[in-house]
């Protein structure tokens, strides 16, 4: 099932590029899924890692995900899918609220995604400087608010020793990028 999810995501994102580079978009969902797999999370969660941006960024919808990968994968993807008809601020506040209140598997997915995005942003900042902020719908201050809010809310419901290591990696990356 994981290989099918990877192939489906690759097909869905065909021709898409990352925001501030020429890297094929599929590199991002692959890294997210690989991070989830490193922690021996469920096959459904790893599949959701591959598929997490399909509904937002391609012609496929949540019904397509459910039909091909089952209701659990579809639930995970749906929990992390932004409503693009809403403003940037509304979408990001919804993600913050979700990561605050969600079940663990949804938190694992969101934080794996946000960590990969933040590490890519950090790399781009080193290579391109502040020009990077031009590639985003929101600049430094809003990105700082968003990422700090994710870091603050992702830990709710976890004991310190209970969180996956990449949650700590995310907190460290937020400090490096935003001070």
Opening angle at CA 170, ends 80 and 38, nearest 5: 75
The catalytic residue among 43, 56, 61, 148 is: 56
Mean pLDDT by 10 residues, the chain (179 residues): 97 88 91 97 98 95 97 97 92 97 97 96 89 80 96 92 93 96
The question of whether 56 is a catalytic residue gets the answer yes
**What is the pTM for the complete model shown?**
0.95
pLDDT of residue 130: 85
pLDDT of residue 18: 85
pLDDT of residue 119: 96
The catalytic residue among 34, 37, 43, 57 is: 57
112-144: pLDDT as tens digits = 999 999 999 999 889 888 888 877 778 899 999
Q: Which residues contact residue 178 at a Cβ distance below 8 angstroms, ignoring those fewer than 6 apart?
A: 140, 143, 144, 147, 148
CATH class of residue range 2-178: mainly alpha
All structural domains of the chain with their residue ranges: 2-178
State residue 24 phi and psi, 5-degree precision. -60, 140
The question of whether 103 is a catalytic residue gets the answer no
The residue with tokens 């469920």 is 42
């Amino acid at each position: 099932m994981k290989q099918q999810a990877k192939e489906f995501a690759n097909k869905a994102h065909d021709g898409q590029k990352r925001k501030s580079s020429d890297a094929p978009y599929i590199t991002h969902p692959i890294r997210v899924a690989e991070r989830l797999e490193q922690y021996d999370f469920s096959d459904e969660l790893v599949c959701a890692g591959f598929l997490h941006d399909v509904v937002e960024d391609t012609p496929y919808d949540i019904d397509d995900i459910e039909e091909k990968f089952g209701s659990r994968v579809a639930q995970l993807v749906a929990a992390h899918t932004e409503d693009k008809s809403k403003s940037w601020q509304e979408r990001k506040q919804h993600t913050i609220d979700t990561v605050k209140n969600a079940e663990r598997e949804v938190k694992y997915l969101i934080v794996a995604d946000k960590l990969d995005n933040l590490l890519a942003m950090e790399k781009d900042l080193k290579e391109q400087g502040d020009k990077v902020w031009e590639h985003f719908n929101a600049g430094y201050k809003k990105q700082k608010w968003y990422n700090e809010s994710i870091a603050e809310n992702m830990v709710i419901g976890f004991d310190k020793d209970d969180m996956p290591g990449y949650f700590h990696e995310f907190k460290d990356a937020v400090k490096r990028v935003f001070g």
